[in-house]
Amino acid sequence: MRSTILAYSTVSALALAFGLTPLSGHAQDSTQGEALEISRQEVLNAMSEATHFMVDEVAVNGGYVWSYLPDMSKRWGEMEAYDTMVWVQPPGTATMGHLFLDAYHATGDEFYYEAAKETAGALIWGQTDEGGWNYVFDFAGPASLQRWYDTIGKAGWRLEEFHHNWGNATFDDAGTAEATQFLLRVYLEKLDPTFRPSVDKAIDLVLASQQPMGTWPQRYPENQLWEGDYTAYPTLNDDVAAENMETLIMAWQTLGRADVLPAIHRGMDAFLLLQQGPDQPGFSLQYDASLEPVAARSYEPLALATHTSASALTKLMDFYELTGDTRYLARVDEGLDWLERVRLPEDQWQDGRQFPTFVEIGTDRPIYVHRRGSNAVSGEYYWDYSRENLLGHYSGLREIDLDEMRARYERLMNTPPEEITANSPLNPENEVVLPEFFTLGEIDVSDLNASEREPTEEVDTAQVSDLISSLNGEGYWPTELIATSNPYLGEPPAAPSEGDFAGTRVGDAYDTSPFLTETPVTGISTSAYIENMGVLIRHLDQTGS
């Protein structure tokens, strides 16, 4: 049962354009006969028990990080966290909030709506004055957060975004976008006016931060903390622009905010400006104010990026589906041809990855990033043309389904625009409903403990039975925490430690970056909770029980 109050009633074209995952009603389960062995009440009981544990025992004022030891003596987001800290990046606090709303829609149980409200309250507490969110905030206050940045954050060699306490909001890793979208969903659920000011403030931030040519920076407001600060550059990295446009489209769909429409169109047009010339019609991770490619983090050199190029070309095809404007398809074929040109020879493919991450501007030569040293003080990154000793934490090769991209382009070229845009949410004549479930598809996360298993469309009885039986006596799913981190030991020494750290995720004992351990322990994982709850939600939807 769903008790949300929305003004729209047709299939979401937003879901089609941006990959959200609505379900097609109560599909017939191929194992429905077997599913009778598991009662609806058993599933509901497991969902309730697991959620009560997360809400009552794990949450800090409604907020979450990513993983915890069972005794709560240590916890981690992307890095080790204080027990007063909240992580915003997926699969953190906003993702948990989305899951609570999904569970509410699947069960009609007000408990989940109340849990979502608590999570929304945590995010509102951590919202910046301008309206966005940092990766992390601390209920103990700014002095505690600064102490974390000066120690654990600063010592993470490869996590350069945590070397500074920027004091502003980030669009990286969908943090601000996901938090905004979740708060919007909470508001729409019962039109509770408590949440509307924070929703409007967040949307206003997305509008205010858009740069004159339609691009967005990684962080806002601009706050240059050091020479070479890249966070004000127009960026495509981690789908910053696409996530912001998705947020604005949702605001248009559900709130009727006409002021977001010009920003959406400027954002789409920016992709036309960012594609490089006919000799190399690809895209970079980020650009300077004149829209020339630039470097950012020290392992993101001045170059064109194949994965970003593939993503941008995919977005251009999305924009055509949203608008029917052929400008967005005009140079897609050039970009696809360029990607084909820079594909590596077959004898250099590795585990399905056929493309170099970075391509040198002007030559099309693959370039590869390496590192030397052992920690945040002694270590450094550099690039050359050698494939030896590639980074362990940032792939030097990429997998791109170029054949599928080209097939989609051909389909779009041979389909009338009016047919393509029939359900576009940008058409004011269309009534469009947001997807009922936001967490049942694949969620892009940086959590090393997250399962790499792709979500399944069909859930069988055995899978549901295993989940119910594997919930432990305390009320959580014990999860092997394959990632850990070194404790902060103080200022790293200037001289490199002995050892080869070129291809590892972590450096010496002074590096606080998380890494995969050979001695994992069992703990509590928000990503495991979200994934397992998603299976149970999908089961309820499939069986109609």
* HEC assignment per residue over 17-49: HHCCCCCCCCCCCCCHHHHCCCCHHHHHHHHHH
- The answer to whether the CB of 460 falls within 8 A of the CB of 499 is no
DSSP 3-state of 276? coil
At 389, give phi and psi (nearest 5°).
55, 55
Residue 142's pLDDT is what? 97
Nearest Cα to 28, choosing from 440, 543, 539, 459?
543
Residue 456's pLDDT is what? 66
| Residue corresponding to tokens 């790293």 | 492
- The answer to whether the CB of 357 falls within 8 A of the CB of 397 is yes
The reply to whether CATH 3.90.1330.10 applies to domain 13-543 is no
Report d(CA 94, CA 85) in Å as an integer.
14
Residue 150's pLDDT is what? 98
In angstroms, the first-to-last Cα distance of the chain is: 10
Exposure letters 458-469 (e unless 16+ CB within 10 A, then b): ebbbebbbebbe
Report d(CA 382, CA 380) in Å as an integer.
7
Report the relative pairing of strands 380-384 and 304-305 from DSSP bridges. unpaired
Residues in the chain: 545
Report d(CA 430, CA 13) in Å as an integer.
10
pTM: 0.93
Residue 31's pLDDT is what? 41
Q: Which two tokens stand for residue 399?
A: 């997998």
Residue 28's pLDDT is what? 36
Q: What's the distance, CA 106 to chain centroid? A: 24
Residue 452's pLDDT is what? 72
- The answer to whether the CB of 143 falls within 8 A of the CB of 151 is no
Question: Which stretches of the chain score pLDDT less than 50?
Answer: 1-36
DSSP 3-state of 240? helix
Cis peptide, bond prior to residue 91, ω within 30 of zero = yes
Half-sphere exposure of 348 (CA within 13 A, CB side): 14
Residue 36's pLDDT is what? 47
- The answer to whether the CB of 280 falls within 8 A of the CB of 265 is no
